Amino acid sequence: MRRLRAEWESHNVILMAFPHETTDWAQYDDWEAVTAPFVRIAQAVAYYQMVYMLCRDAEAIKPLFCSTTNIIFLEADYNDTWTRDYGALSIEEDGRKKLVDFTFDGWGGKFEASKDNAINRWLSGKGFYGGAPLERVEYILEGGAIDTDGEGTILTTRQCLCHPNRNGRVDTHEVETMLADTLGIQRVLWLEHGYLAGDDTDGHVDMLARFVNPTTITYVTCDNPEDEHYKSLKKMEEELQSFRTEAGAPYTLIPLPLPEPKYNKEGERLPATYANFLISNGAVVYPTYSDPNDKKVGEILREVFPDREVIPINCLSLIQQGGSLHCSTMQVAY
């Protein structure tokens, strides 16, 4: 019997990838602003557990870190920094930890991703995943597209998992069968609504709604009827209210405010969201955006996670490339 592990369960390492000159980050002039979130996220996580930092030149980037304790720099070849979507997924099968390596194609072929798609096999072959078996799956699936309660249920969006740019024209039954076979998923909570402007992922759920325990979901909400997200996020809220736990009870729902609109220099809206937080072994590391809601969200997360330190990281520069904090990390248990 397989089981996809929840993010709040103990894991061995957080996988990250540092920007380099051939990633899309190279187009930005302010390299210090680009790299700062990666440094700060890694150091926040490293207070409590190990970080694997993929990089091109370890000696060149180490001086950027105040401390490199618990950070292992791994020189590798990769396309970009969004390890959430190409890092291995951690499961248990008959009490034994295993890793599942889905195919990553750059969110439906939008970006070159062949090197990212090979990272898990490289890490496993070098022994960095311990003795955990790595199972290769040809089906295309990104880690940020699903969120689990650790008990056989996932939350996801139909827009992403059934999008024809991933695996052709598949229906929900085909997707559910695949998820059951590969990850042991028994129930799928399908969201039909919810989106963020500037999101390249076709609706990754980790930008919208997240399990924080088996009976509680945090989610993005918008209270401004003039905002372009208002109607869609309101419909998503109604869907979440209609969902039931395995025991048949409504979920406890915790709204997270939408940050004020953030734009790039071309005037395009960026996908700023507080739902994109990381649950590490001893802390919850959450994105901030120099926004009035930053402090409020920290207070909410402290109530939700009373036994973990809650650490804010400014991610204004991260969202320039369409992702945020959670997108740049992947927890691995082996």
Classify the phi-psi angles of 22: left when phi > 0, otherwise alpha if psi is within -120 to 50, otherwise beta. alpha
By the 10 Å C-beta count (0-12 exposed, 13-18 middle, 19+ buried), 216 is classed as middle
β-strand pairing of 134-140 with 96-103: parallel
Q: Which of 251, 140, 120, 244 shows the shortest CA–CA distance to 202?
A: 140
Buried-state track 223-247, b at ≥16 Cβ within 10 A, e below 16:
eeeeeebeebbeebbebbeebebee
- Locate all alpha helices (DSSP H) within the chain, ordered by sequence: 31-46, 58-61, 83-86, 106-109, 114-117, 119-125, 158-161, 164-167, 172-183, 230-242, 294-304
Residues of the chain falling short of pLDDT 70 = none
How many angstroms separate the Cα of 148 from the Cα of each of 160, 192, 217? 16, 17, 10
pLDDT of residue 24: 87
Residues 6+ apart with CB under 8 A from 307: none
CB 334 within 8 A of CB 131: yes
Residues 6+ apart with CB under 8 A from 174: none
How many angstroms separate the Cα of 217 from the Cα of each of 54, 158, 174, 180, 284? 31, 18, 26, 22, 15
pLDDT tens for residues 124-168? 999 999 989 999 999 999 999 999 999 999 999 999 999 999 999
- Locate all alpha helices (DSSP H) within 129-195, ordered by sequence: 158-161, 164-167, 172-183
Largest pairwise CA distance in the chain: 54
By the 10 Å C-beta count (0-12 exposed, 13-18 middle, 19+ buried), 18 is classed as buried
Is 3.75.10.10 the CATH number for 2-332?
yes
Q: Is 159 helix (H, G, I), strand (E, B) or coil?
A: helix
pTM over 0.75: yes
Domain ranges (residues) in the chain: 2-332
Buried-state track 146-159, b at ≥16 Cβ within 10 A, e below 16:
bbbbbebbbbbbbb
**Calpha distance 160→142 (Å, rounded):** 10
pLDDT tens for residues 97-113? 999 999 999 999 999 99
Residues 6+ apart with CB under 8 A from 171: 162
**Enclosing H/E stretch for 309:** strand 309-314
Distance of CA 164 to the CA centre of its chain: 22
Q: Which of 216, 199, 185 shows the shortest CA–CA distance to 327?
A: 199
Q: Which neighbouring-strand residues pair with 52?
A: 15, 72
Question: Position of tokens 């994109």?
Answer: 276
pLDDT of residue 26: 87
